[in-house]
Amino acid sequence: MKASVKSDYACRAVEALALHYPSTRPLRIEEIAERESIPANYLVQILIELKSKGLIQSRRGKEGGYNLAKTPREITVGDVLRAIQGDILEMPLLGESRCPEEIKRAWRRIKVAAEGAADEITFEAICAEASSKTQMYYI
């Protein structure tokens, strides 16, 4: 199991937009790209896919850019992974007839567990964790 670079970039882009939430000022592609160290030309393609799946929205013009289409609480890592790569965990062997049923069941359990974990992680939780790291405590 290996996460693609595209999926990682998509999660980082959504995190940037979630950290910017609830501001109504859209973030420009250049801002997201610089903040998250994502090539801007690749980020454009990712944002188009996320927009087509209803996770983000865009505004055109001089003051244009991108915002979340839902609250960070309503968007999960699973939502972003499905928008970018389809299945969270692809299991081509499940349809193979030579694969023993016990092994197919094991693979299905792994798939269900991975999907469940991805669907439990909201961008609200990711942002809370990120903001707790940046807080400084003085004694």
Looking at the predicted structure, is the pLDDT value of residue 36 above 80? Answer: yes
Looking at the predicted structure, is the pLDDT value of residue 43 above 80? Answer: yes
Please report the domains of the chain, with CATH numbers, ordered by start residue: 5-134 (1.10.10.10)
pLDDT at 83: 96
DSSP 18-50: HHHTT--SPBPHHHHHHHHT--HHHHHHHHHHH
Answer yes or no: are the C-beta atoms of 66 and 49 closer than 8 Å.
no
Residue-wise pLDDT for 72-122, tens only, equals 999 999 999 999 998 888 776 666 667 788 888 888 899 899 999 999 999
Q: Count CB atoms within 10 A of the CB of residue 69.
A: 16
* Adjacent-strand bridge partners of 57: 67
Per cent of the chain over pLDDT 90 is 69
Answer yes or no: are the C-beta atoms of 127 and 15 closer than 8 Å.
yes
pLDDT at 80: 97
**Residues 105, 29: Cα–Cα separation, whole Å:** 43
Residue bearing tokens 């004694």: 139
